[in-house]
Structure 1
Amino acid sequence: MKSHAERGRLPGAALALLAAVFVDALGSGLYMSVSVVFLTRYLGLGDGQVGVGLSVAGALSFALLVPTGILADRAGARRTLMAAHLVRAALLTVYPLASGFVPFLCVVSLLAVADRAASPLLQGLFGTAVEGPQRVRAMGRARSLQNLGLALGGLVAGAVLVADSDAVYLGVVYANAVSFVVAAVLVARLRTGADGERSGVRPLPWRERLGVFRDRRFAALTALNSLVSLHVTVLTAGVPLWVLAHPSALPRAVIAWAVVLNTVVVVLFQVRATRATETAADGGRALGLSGMLLAVGCGALATTGALPMPYAVAVLLVAVAFQAFAEMHQQAGAWAISYELAPEDRRQVYLAFFSLGNAARNTYGPLVVTFLVVRQGALGWLLLGALVLGAGAWAARVGRPTAATGITTGTTPAPAAPLTDVQGETHGQRA
C-alpha cells in the first residue's frame, strides 16, 4: 500500500495543522490591521508608549526563544504549541483591561514571547506529521494559507473599521482570541507516537541541549539566511520609503499595490517554489537563488526614481514580483536547512535557534534598509543587492556537504522522526 508521500497527499495530522495555521492567520490578520488603533484609541496609550512597549516585547521574545525551544524538547512540541495558543487567547481576553503603560507592557511582552515561539513549534510538528520528502512542501502550503488568512482578515478589518467604535475594537480583539482557542483545539487533536512528547525519556544533559551554539555550520547558515531574508524589510520598509521619497515618479497607492502583489504571488506559487528543495544542500542553493532574485529586484528599484511615472510604477511592480519569488525560495531553503540539520532529540531548540536569525533581522533590517535607501538612494539599492547576492552565494557554498565547505559541526544531526500512527497542522510581530 502506497504511503501519503508516494501518493503526493498530506496525512490527516498535516491537514489539521494547516487548518490551525489558517485559523490563526485569519484572526491575526483581523487584529493586526486594527492593533495600533486599539492601543491608542481604546487603551489611551501614547505613540511613544506603544513604541517602547513593542521594543521591550521584541527583545524579551528574542531572549526567550531558545529557552522555549529547550522546554518544547522536554515537554513536547504539541503540548507547548497548545499552551502558546491558549496563553495568547488568555492575554487577548484581558488586553482591554490593560489601561496603563505597565499592564500594557506586561501583556504585550508575554504575547510577543508566545507569538515568537509558535512558528518553530509549528515547524517542528510538521516535521513529525509529514514524511521527509513532503516536509518542505507542507510548509509551503502552510505559508500560502497563512498569507491568504492574513489577507482575508485584513480585508474584514478594513470593512469593520468604517464603524469607529469601542465595540468594534473589542469584537476584533475577542475574535482573535477565539481563533487561538480553535487553533489550540486543532493541535490538541493530533495523536502521534513521535510528536515530541518525550515523557518517560531521560532528558539530555544541558551541555548537549545547548550544542547548537557550537554547531558552526548551522550557525553560519542561520546568519546567512537572516541576511537573505532582508526581502521582508525591502517590502515593508524599503519600498514605502522609496515611494515617499519620489512622489513625482511613484504615487503613494503603489505601496498598497506592492503588498497585494506580494501576497497574491506567494499564495499562488509558494508550494511550487518548494519543489526539489529537500536537503541542506538544496536549501543552500535555494538561498543562493533567492539572493540573486532579490539583487535583480533591488537593481530594478534603483532605476525607478529617474523614470516617468507609468514606467516607474511598472518597473517597481516587476521588482516586487522578483522580491516575492526571492521570498518563496528563501523560505523553502530555510525549511530544508533547518529540518535536515536539526537532530531529532534537539529539534525544537535547533529550530528556535534558527528563528533567532529572523528575529535579529527584524531588529537590524529596518536600520540597514533605511540607511541604504534613504541616505544612499539608487546606490543604496545596488549595495543592498550586492549584500544579499553575496550572502546567498555563500549560503549555497556552506550548504554543501561539510567536507566541501571546511566548516565543521559541533554535533552530528540525526534524521528526523518518521511519521507514525496519526489520528488527527506568522507574519510580523503583533502589537
Structure 2
Amino acid sequence: MTRYLPPPGPSRPLAVAQLTDSIGLGGYLVCSALYFTRIVDLSPTQVGFGLTAGWAVGFLTGVPLGHLADRRGPRGIAILLALCTAAALVLFLFVRDFVPFVLVACLYSTALCGLNAARQALLAGLVPAQERTKVRAVLAAAINAGIAVGAGFGGLALQADTEVAYLAVFAVDAVSLVVSALVLLRLPVVAPTPATAHGEPALAVLRDRPYAVVSALNMVLQLHIPLITLAIPLWIVARTNAPGWTVSLLLVLNTVSVVLFQVRVANKVTNLASALRFMRFAGVTLLAACVVFALSGFGAPAWAAVGVLVVAAGLQAAAEMMQASGAWEISFGLAPEGRHGQYQGFFGSGFTVARMLGPLLVTTVVLGWGTAGWLLLGAVFVTAGAAMGPAVRWAERTRRGRVETQPLLTTTG
C-alpha cells in the first residue's frame, strides 16, 4: 500500500482533501446536466451556454487567483476558494432561471479554477521538488477514486430521478468541499511571496512565451479528456455494433487504471528528460488508440467491437497517465519558485480550455469525419508530443541562471 500513499507529512492531508471533495464532484458530474434540464427546466442549449460561459470566466481568472495565492499564502486562499465553491453549489439549489444559472456557473467555475491553482501552489510550498510529481500522481489517483465513489452515489440519484435526490447530490458535494477546507487547516502555513520589484510584472507568466507554448501543447494533448468522456460514447452508439453498456465499461476501465497505475507510471518520471520522453510516448500511444478506435467502426460483430474498444481504451488510459506524469514534472520544473500559484493557474487553464472547446472540436472531427477524423486527431497528438521537446528546451534556455533542482536532458532519448 505504501506505493499508493504519499510520503508522510503534509502531502497526506492534501490527498485526503482531494479525495473528500472529489466524491462530491463525482456526483455532480453525473447528475448536473439532468438536474438543470429536468428539474430547473433549462434547455440543453441554455445549459451548454451557461457551463461554457462559466469555464470561460474560470479560464480568465485562474492566473490572477493563483497570483493571489502566491502573494497572500496558498493555504488560506485554498480554504477560502473551497468554501466559495461550496457556496456556489448551495446557490445552484435555488436557481430556477437562466440568468441566475449563468451567474452561479461563473462563480462555481471561477472558484474551482482558483482552488486548483492555489492547491498546486500549496503542494509546491510543502513538498520538496523531487517528490512533487509522485505526490501529484497520488492526488490524481485519489481524485479518480473519489469521483468513482461519487459517481455511484450520483447513479442512485439518477435512478430515483426526483428533485430531492438531485438536491441531495448537490448538498453532499457542498459538504465535501467544506470538509476538504477543514482538512486543509491541518497543513502548515506556506509563507507568501514578497511583492515583485518595481518595474517587474506582477503576472510574469503572461509574458513568459516559452511557458505559454508548453502549456498550449499540453492543452492539445489533454483533448484525450473529452475523447473518453464524450466522443467515444457517441462513437460507440452511432458507429459501432457494441452494446450500450460498453460506454460504462470503458469509463470504469479508465478510472480503475488511473487509480491502480498512475503512481507507478509517475515514479518513472524523475526529471525533465524523462518527462519529455513520456510526453512523446503519450503522443504516439494516443495515435495508436485513435487507429484502434477507428477500427471498431468497420462493422465488426458486437463481441469483436467490444474487444477492439477495450484495447483502444487501454491504450488511451496508458497515454493519459504518461501525459499527466510528464506534464506535472514540466509544469513544476519550469515555474519559478514562489510563483507556482500563477504558473500552475496558467498551466491548468489548458485543462479548462479542453473542457470548454474540446467536446465540440473532438466530436465534430470524430463523428463528422469518421476514420479520417480519428487519423487526423492521432496525428495532432503525435505532433504535440514531439513538439514538447523543443518547447521545453526553449523555456529552459530562458531560465539560465535560475537554480534548478533537476538538470535538463541528463540522459539521452
**TM-score, normalised relative to structure 1:** 0.87
Q: Does 1:260 align with 2:252?
A: yes
Partner-residue secondary structure (3-state), 1:34? helix
Q: Does 1:66 align with 2:59?
A: no
Paired residue type of 2:45: G
1:212-227 alignment to 2 at 5 Å?
A: 212-227=205-220
Unaligned runs of at least 5 residues, structure 1 = 417-431
Match of 1:165 in 2: 162
Q: Does 1:197 align with 2:192?
A: yes
Q: 1:234 to 1:31 in 2, by over 3 A?
A: closer
Paired residue type of 1:54: L
- Show CA shifts across 1:131-173 (max 9, x none): 2221101111110110010011111221243333332222221
Deviates more, 1:93-102 or 1:14-23: 93-102
Partner-residue secondary structure (3-state), 1:208? coil
- Show CA shifts across 1:169-192 (max 9, x none): 222211111111110011122114
1:53-132 alignment to 2 at 5 Å?
A: 53-132=50-129
Q: Does 1:211 align with 2:204?
A: yes
Q: Does 1:277 align with 2:269?
A: yes
Q: Does 1:231 align with 2:220?
A: no
Match of 1:347 in 2: 340
Distance in 2 (CA, whole Å) between partners of 1:203 and 1:351 is 18
CA contact (8 A) 2:71 2:195 kept: no
Q: Which of 330, 346, 370 is the matching residue for 1:377?
A: 370
CA contact (8 A) 2:40 2:95 kept: yes
Q: 1:110 to 1:348 in 2, by over 3 A?
A: same
CA contact (8 A) 1:45 1:101 kept: yes
Partner-residue secondary structure (3-state), 2:161? coil
Distance in 1 (CA, whole Å) between partners of 2:199 and 2:7 is 35
Structure 1 stretches (4+) deviating beyond 6 angstroms?
A: none
Distance in 1 (CA, whole Å) between partners of 2:30 and 2:363 is 23
Tell me the CA shift for residue 232 of structure 1: 0.9
Q: 1:359 to 1:94 in 2, by over 3 A?
A: closer
Match of 1:246 in 2: 239
Distance in 2 (CA, whole Å) between partners of 1:119 and 1:126 is 11
Tell me the CA shift for residue 415 of structure 1: 5.1
Q: Does 1:180 align with 2:177?
A: yes
- Show CA shifts across 1:299-350 (max 9, x none): 1112111233222211111110010010011111111011111111221111
The total of aligned residue pairs comes to 401
Distance in 2 (CA, whole Å) between partners of 1:170 and 1:238 is 28
Tell me the CA shift for residue 120 of structure 1: 2.4
Q: 1:276 to 1:90 in 2, by over 3 A?
A: same
Distance in 2 (CA, whole Å) between partners of 1:206 and 1:382 is 48
Match of 2:285 in 1: 293
Tell me the CA shift for residue 375 of structure 1: 2.3
Match of 1:319 in 2: 312
Tell me the CA shift for residue 80 of structure 1: 1.2
Q: Does 1:14 align with 2:11?
A: yes
Deviates more, 1:305-314 or 1:202-211: 202-211
Distance in 1 (CA, whole Å) between partners of 2:357 and 2:378 is 16
Q: 1:91 to 1:375 in 2, by over 3 A?
A: closer
Tell me the CA shift for residue 216 of structure 1: 3.0
Identity level (%):
36
Partner-residue secondary structure (3-state), 2:175? helix
Match of 2:323 in 1: 330
Distance in 2 (CA, whole Å) between partners of 1:81 and 1:233 is 27
CA contact (8 A) 1:294 1:322 kept: yes
Tell me the CA shift for residue 250 of structure 1: 2.2
Tell me the CA shift for residue 26 of structure 1: 0.5
**Superposition CA RMSD, Å:** 2.2
Distance in 1 (CA, whole Å) between partners of 2:6 and 2:153 is 32
Match of 1:309 in 2: 302
Match of 2:408 in 1: none
Partner-residue secondary structure (3-state), 1:345? coil
Distance in 2 (CA, whole Å) between partners of 1:114 and 1:352 is 12
CA contact (8 A) 2:287 2:379 kept: yes
Unaligned runs of at least 5 residues, structure 2 = 406-413
Tell me the CA shift for residue 196 of structure 1: 4.3
